[in-house]
């Protein structure tokens, strides 16, 4: 059923749950995991050149390599084949293009389960991938459910 499973990682806390799920599925289906980290260069496009884009880019690339190493350790423990790639660009677009270009059968992504104003203000890469990809997308809840319930509360809090 699955030969190539894509798991994008941003290295954030909790993303290991999505990685674990992707690796478990790959082990069950004798599939290869494709792990990508997208360096979102657009985030820093408005900075003046004096802000040392090279320094920022280097830090983001190092973070990406570390995030991919975590996926590699998980895949190695399960004896699952793995391909990794560090990509520059818009995360949503890069994920969809990678999945299409590598004929991935499934995309496994984490979601924080934000709703209401939090989702409106912060957006969601996962939601964007779900809306624009013609590939199946499996979402894995990140963090504790109680943490995510707090994030769904749109009631203003006192500082």
Nearest to 9 by CA among 97, 121, 91, 77: 91
Per-residue model confidence (pLDDT) at position 28: 97
Per-residue model confidence (pLDDT) at position 51: 54
Per-residue model confidence (pLDDT) at position 46: 63
Whether the pLDDT of residue 134 is over 90: the answer is yes
Whether the pLDDT of residue 154 is over 50: the answer is no
Mean pLDDT over residues 38-59, rounded? 70
Nearest to 9 by CA among 28, 31, 27, 34: 34
Distance CA 120, CA 127 (A): 11
Collapsing DSSP to helix, strand or coil, 134 comes out as coil
Nearest to 40 by CA among 98, 96, 87: 87
Mean pLDDT over residues 42-54, rounded? 60
Instruction: Quote the tokens at residue 84.
Output: 């990794």
Range scoring the smallest mean pLDDT among 18-22, 50-54, 86-90:
50-54
Under a CB-based contact definition with an 8 Å cutoff, are residues 72 and 121 in contact? Answer: no
- Binned at pLDDT 50, 70 and 90, residue 115 comes out as low
Distance CA 101, CA 150 (A): 38
Mean pLDDT over residues 60-72, rounded? 95
Q: Name every residue whose Cβ is closer than 8 Å to that of residue 83 and which is 6 or more positions away in sequence.
A: 32, 33, 34, 35
């Amino acid at each position: 059923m699955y030969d190539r499973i894509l798991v994008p990682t941003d290295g954030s806390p909790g993303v290991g749950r999505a990685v674990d799920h992707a690796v478990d599925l790959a082990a069950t289906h004798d599939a290869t995991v494709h792990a990508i980290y997208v360096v979102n260069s657009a985030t820093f496009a408005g900075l003046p050149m004096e802000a040392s884009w090279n320094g920022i880019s280097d830090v983001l690339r190092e973070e990406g390599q570390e995030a991919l190493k975590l996926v590699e350790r998980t895949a190695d423990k399960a004896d699952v084949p793995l391909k990794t790639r560090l990509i520059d660009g818009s995360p949503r677009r890069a994920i969809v293009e990678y999945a299409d270009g590598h004929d991935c059968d499934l995309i496994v992504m984490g979601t924080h389960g934000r709703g209401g104003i939090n989702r409106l203000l912060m957006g969601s890469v996962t939601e964007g991938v779900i809306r624009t990809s013609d590939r199946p997308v499996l979402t894995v809840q990140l963090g504790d459910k109680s943490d995510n319930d707090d994030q769904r509360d749109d009631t203003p809090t006192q500082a």
